[in-house]
Every structure is written in structure tokens, then in C-alpha cells.
Chain A
Amino acid sequence: MIELTNESINSEAILAKMEDHATGGVVLFLGRVRDHAEGRQVERMDYEAYSEMARVKLQEIENQTRAKWPVRKMAIVHRTGTLKLGEVSVAIAVACGHRGEAFEACRYAIDTLKETVPIWKKEHFADGAAWVKGVQPKSKCQEGDSK
């Protein structure tokens, strides 16, 4: 499942969705708001999404991940709005038969999310604010890439 939400991300609830006795490995990745960026003290972060397109891209990532690894359960949740330090901005959980494929699948999903999903963040400092520089989006999930 994929979700874009302006409410707090509940990682316990996401892990509960990974329940499956055929899976021996569950990997949960949490991205959260860091207190510094390029030597400056960050106070909070705004996340803005192109919601309709972001949902399309998140679903593509889930589909691609499932096509590449034997994933039995998967969740990708991304937050929008204003986040405080330490708040979770993104959560990705993957449950597979074995740990190796779960780690690889989760890594692929977060790396691809950063390259393809139209979301922007703005860092607020004590003395101002700035949009994060960002990367040129890749138009598709990379085919045949199993890193």
C-alpha cells in the first residue's frame, strides 16, 4: 500500500501491516527531519507534494519493487506539511521470506522515491528558510537495476 498524508506517521501501525508468517525478514526504513543542513541549524521542515502525481509515482515504486523481489507485504508512506525535528517524513516497510531480499527491496524503494516522486522540502533556519536544492527527477524507475 502507498499513502501520502499530512498526519503523523505511525510506524507501529505500518509494522502491524507486515504481519505474515511466511516472511522471515521485515525491513523498516524511517526518514526523519535532521537538525542540521550544510552547517546550519534546522528548526523545522515543510514538505510539499504534487499529490496526484506523487501517488502515481509511489504506486509505480511499489509495483516495480514487487516485480524485482519476492515481496509479500509492503508499505510506503510519505508525509506532507510542516514537520518538527525528529518527525518521520517517510516510512518504507518491506516483508520478504528472507532478510537479504527485504534489505535490497527497501533500499531500492527509498532510493527510487528520492529520484522519481514529485515532493519538495523547505528548510527553516533561525534566520530564514530555503528550498532544498534537490535532484532532477528520473522519469521512470530504473529497469533491470537491482542495487
Chain B
Amino acid sequence: MLTITLRFFGQLRELTNTEETPIQVKEGTRIEDLIWLVGERFPVTKEHLKIVSFSIDNEYAAKDAVLREGNVVGLLPPISGG
């Protein structure tokens, strides 16, 4: 198993009442698999995950990106800076 860190922002941070949390995933887990795991652990996020973007270690990540030990994964709602 790998340990990665999830970080929540904006509305997702509020809904989960969580800024960051460790999560264990199997070797070979992809972002698209993680979406399912997050939905199971934080059901309140389920309806939002369709429009969430992901980052791995400060870079936007594709749905098929494979997670590695120690990765920091950001769950990023649609952005509204400026």
C-alpha cells in the first residue's frame, strides 16, 4: 500500500471540514480510482467530484496519472482567482 496526502480547497474543504488527510491506496492506483475512494470516504463530496480537477505535487494531473508513495493530491474545485 502507498500513503498519499489529500488536500481539499474551497467548497470541498468546507464540505469535508478537512484541509488535508492521509489516505492509503494500492500500488497502481490512478487519479480516476482515487475519485471513487474519496467519494466513499467523504460521501458529501460525491456530487462535486465530477467537476473537480486534481493536482499531484503542485501540478495539474490527468485522470490516468498513477499515484506514487508520498504524493500530495489536491482536490481543486473550479478556480475563480483574479
Query: A residues touching B (Cβ–Cβ < 8 Å)?
Result: 31, 47-50, 52-54, 56, 78, 89-90, 110, 113-122, 131-137, 139-140
Residue of A nearest to B61 (CB): A139
Contact status of A50 and B81, CB under 8 A, knowing A56-B59, A118-B55, A136-B51: no
CB<8 Å pairs between A and B, sample of 24: A50-B76, A52-B58, A56-B59, A89-B82, A114-B79, A117-B79, A117-B81, A118-B74, A118-B76, A118-B79, A119-B79, A119-B80, A119-B82, A120-B79, A120-B81, A122-B10, A133-B78, A134-B77, A134-B79, A135-B80, A136-B51, A136-B78, A137-B79, A139-B60
CA distance A18 to B38 in the complex (A): 46
> Does B45 lie at the interface of the complex (its beta carbon under 8 Å from any beta carbon of A)?
no
Query: Which residues in A have their C-beta under 8 angstroms from that of B11?
Result: 120, 131
- Dominant secondary structure at the B interface: mixed
| Residues of chain A lying within 8 A (CB to CB) of residue B3 | none
When C-beta atoms are compared, the residue in chain B nearest to A56 turns out to be B58
The winner among A48, A117, A118, A136 for most chain B CB atoms within 10 A is: A118
Q: Is the CB of B58 within 8 A of A114?
A: no
Tell me the count of chain B residues lying within 8 A, CB to CB, of chain A.
19
Residue pair A132, B80 in contact (C-beta under 8 Å)? yes
